[in-house]
């Protein structure tokens, strides 16, 4: 299935396919087939009936007209489960009339819809993981390759004392890795079967309810919860909140790279290719396309997460309206998250970094970014207030005359009484004022490696 034009900047082809009509339908049918097999295993329905139901539960038996009718009936029923069961029952009846009466035995319509959604989320996780791994690999490589690449820090978008690009990349990596780990835990919590029957007690199955539920979960490769969760949406909420945090972390990185790509800065750039990053009117442009797509997702997801959180307030044992709001909301969050992950994986794998331009931008400040260092050298001898006032005058002269701060300071008797010429000449050497930058870079990388090693052992 191709992405609809209106969704072209909101999802990827594979994740659009995941939430296509046929895919969603098959997930619901998978629930019905697995339920029948589980109940046959527990002696609730005849094995022949389970076989007939499983045979009929194939989405390719629904043509476009049938899908349209199902969608229309869903709107009237308030749930896809009711019309689905009706249609599936008729399909089963054509092959085995006796088996038709056992379709959906003991289940409720929300069991179908919720478990189908969980099955789609399970597939979504397997689609997100490779791109997340690509992002972490690319960032790890950048953090190691540029351990000594000095650049300006930027606070409130203004030049600050030097850092390394290796530290910046390691910071991005740490944030993505932490959110990735939390997302993995949230997926594990949320990938559970929903099977509660009419009011969450499975009374229709007598004392066999839990056994059937466990067998159903096993059939679908899901976990079996302590109890049905029809109006308890906390696990799904946790997962979607973590999607929001992940897209936020990716968005922060995308924002940084976008700013580094500005022509006046030109310190980094996304990969270019035919049809990627160009302009319809300005051939010279190299636009941050992957970052723009990621930022679009980061802007959309928080509002969608808020919508889901508002749907958690559900009435008693079955919600009215709040549950019906979930499917499109969840689909939109997962699609936006998938787009952000895929877009940043591509951008980072082809990211080019220009150390020479980073140094040129630093030199263009004439060393005023080292005013903090000068203050720390002068304050012990002059007092902080006097040193601050002296530096303000030196900075004014440096900026007005376009001269190095070091040269201006070298003409001030108060400075030269405290600092020798050798110390002054090293004042604006960036490598001399990186503090613990590399220590922090190494600690970030080590933390990621330790987590990965521990996860592999588990």
Q: E strand or H helix at 352, and its extent?
A: strand 352-353
Question: Does residue 18 belong to any structural domain of this protein?
Answer: yes
321 falls within a domain: yes
Q: Is residue 133, in this structure, part of any structural domain at all?
A: yes
Nearest to 366 by CA among 152, 165, 194, 51: 152
- Please check whether residues 233 and 275 belong to one and the same domain: yes
17 and 31 part of one domain: yes
Render the burial of 30-40: b for 16+ CB within 10 Å, e for the rest.
bbbbbbbbbbb
Q: Give the domain range for residue 389.
A: 368-427
Contact 53, 92 (CB under 8 A): yes
Handedness of CA 216, 218, 221, 225 (dihedral sign): positive
C-alpha span between 323 and 409 (Å, rounded): 68
Residue 132 backbone phi and psi in degrees, to 5? -65, -40
Residue-level pLDDT at 275: 52
Domain match, 158 and 256 both: yes
Give yes or no for a contact between 114 and 330, defined as CB atoms under 8 angstroms apart. Answer: no
Same-domain pairing of 400 and 415: yes
What pLDDT was estimated at residue 458?
Answer: 62
pLDDT of residue 279: 47
Identify whether 300 is part of a domain. Answer: yes
| Whether residue 182 sits in one domain with residue 279 | yes
Last residue of a domain, one of 309, 335, 363: 363
Helix (H) / strand (E) element for 151: namely: strand 150-155
Is 447 within a domain? no
pLDDT tens digits in sequence order for the chain, 458 residues long: 456 778 878 899 999 999 999 999 999 999 999 999 999 999 999 999 999 999 999 999 988 898 999 999 999 999 999 999 999 999 999 999 999 999 999 999 999 999 999 999 999 999 999 999 999 999 999 999 999 999 999 999 999 999 999 999 999 999 999 999 999 999 999 999 999 999 999 999 999 999 999 999 999 999 999 999 999 999 999 999 999 999 999 999 999 999 999 999 999 999 976 655 554 454 555 789 999 999 999 999 999 999 999 999 999 999 999 999 999 999 999 999 999 999 999 999 999 999 999 999 999 999 999 999 999 999 999 999 999 999 999 999 999 999 999 999 999 999 999 999 999 999 999 999 999 999 999 999 999 999 887 777 66
d(CA 218, CA 171): 40
The CATH number given to whatever domain includes residue 76 is 1.10.275.10
Residue 7: partners with Cβ closer than 8 Å, 6 or more residues away:
16, 335
User: Is residue 58 one of the residues assigned to a domain?
Assistant: yes
**411 and 374 inside one domain:** yes
Helix (H) / strand (E) element for 183: namely helix 165-190
pTM here is 0.93
In sequence order, which residues have a C-beta less than 8 Å from that of residue 208 and are 6 or more positions away? 42, 44
The last residue of one of the domains, among 363, 386, 405, is 363
Beta pairing, strands 352-353 & 268-269:
antiparallel
Predicted pLDDT at 414: 93
User: Do 241 and 305 sit in the same domain of this protein?
Assistant: yes
Which among 292, 166, 168, 183 is positioned nearest to 241, based on CA atoms? 183
Do residues 130 and 234 both lie within one domain? yes
> Is 271 in the same domain as 327?
yes
Task: Spell 239-276 as b/e; 16+ CB within 10 A means b.
Answer: bbbbbbbbbbbbbbbbebbbbbbeeebebbbbbeeeee
Q: Do residue 163 and residue 274 come from a single domain?
A: yes
116 and 98 co-located in one domain: no
Please indicate, yes or no, whether residues 290 and 305 belong to a single structural domain of this protein.
yes
d(CA 456, CA 458) in angstroms, rounded, equals 5
Contact in structure between 454 and 184 (CB atoms under 8 Å): no
Q: Give the torsion through C-alpha atoms of 446, 451, 457, 458, to 10 deg.
A: 170
Report the CATH number that the domain containing residue 397 is assigned in CATH: 1.10.40.30
CA distances from residue 147 to 335, 350, 369 in whole angstroms, order as listed: 35, 18, 21
Smallest Cα–Cα separation from 382: which of 340, 427, 414, 411? Answer: 414
Q: Is residue 145 part of a domain?
A: yes
Instruction: State the Cα–Cα distance between residues 248 and 187, nearest whole angstrom.
Output: 18
Terminal-to-terminal C-alpha distance of the chain: 37
Q: Tokens for 51, please give them.
A: 């076989």
Which residues have a catalytic role annotated? Answer: 279, 318
* 446 assigned to some structural domain: no
Q: How far apart are CA 288 and CA 160, in angstroms?
A: 24
Domains of the chain: total: 3
């Amino acid at each position: 299935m191709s992405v609809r034009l209106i969704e072209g900047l909101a999802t990827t082809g594979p994740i659009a396919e995941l939430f296509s009509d046929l895919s969603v339908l098959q997930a619901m049918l998978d629930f019905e087939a697995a339920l029948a097999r589980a109940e046959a295993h527990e002696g609730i329905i005849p094995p022949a009936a389970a076989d007939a139901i499983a045979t009929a539960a194939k989405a390719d038996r629904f043509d476009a007209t049938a899908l349209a009718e199902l969608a229309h009936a869903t709107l009237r029923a308030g749930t896809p489960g009711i019309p689905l069961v009706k249609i599936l029952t008729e399909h089963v009846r054509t092959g085995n009339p006796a088996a038709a009466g056992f379709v959906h035995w003991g289940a409720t319509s929300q069991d179908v819809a919720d478990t189908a959604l969980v099955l789609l989320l399970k597939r979504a996780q397997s689609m997100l993981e490779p791109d997340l791994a690509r992002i972490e690999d690319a960032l790890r490589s950048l953090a190691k390759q540029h351990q000594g690449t000095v650049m300006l820090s930027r606070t409130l978008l203004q030049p600050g004392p030097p850092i390394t690009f290796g530290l910046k990349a390691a910071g991005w990596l740490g944030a993505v890795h932490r959110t990735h780990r939390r997302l993995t835990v949230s997926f594990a919590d949320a990938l559970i079967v929903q099977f509660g029957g009419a009011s969450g007690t499975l009374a229709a199955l007598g004392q066999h309810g839990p056994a059937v539920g466990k067998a159903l979960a096993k059939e679908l490769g899901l976990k079996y919860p302590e109890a049905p969760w029809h109006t308890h949406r906390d696990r799904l909420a946790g997962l979607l909140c973590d999607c929001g945090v992940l897209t936020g972390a990716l968005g922060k990185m995308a924002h940084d790279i976008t700013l580094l790509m500005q022509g006046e800065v030109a310190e980094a750039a996304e990969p270019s290719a035919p049809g990627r990053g160009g302009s319809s009117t300005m051939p010279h442009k190299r636009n941050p396309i992957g970052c723009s797509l990621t930022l679009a997702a980061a802007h959309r997801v928080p509002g969608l997460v808020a919508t889901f959180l508002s749907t958690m307030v559900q009435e008693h044992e079955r919600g009215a309206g709040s549950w019906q709001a979930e499917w499109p909301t969840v689909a939109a969050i997962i699609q936006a998250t998938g787009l952000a992950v895929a877009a940043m994986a591509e951008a980072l794998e082809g990211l080019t970094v220009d150390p020479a331009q980073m140094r040129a931008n630093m030199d263009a400040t004439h060393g005023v970014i080292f005013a903090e260092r000068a203050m720390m050298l002068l304050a012990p001898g002059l007092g902080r207030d006097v040193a601050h006032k002296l530096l303000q005058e030196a900075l004014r002269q440096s900026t007005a005359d376009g001269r190095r701060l070091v040269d201006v300071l070298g003409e001030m008797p108060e400075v030269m009484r405290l600092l020798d010429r050798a110390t002054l000449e090293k004042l604006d050497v960036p490598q001399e004022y990186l503090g613990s930058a590399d220590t922090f870079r190494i600690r970030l990388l080590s933390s990621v490696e330790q987590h990965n090693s521990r996860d592999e052992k588990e």
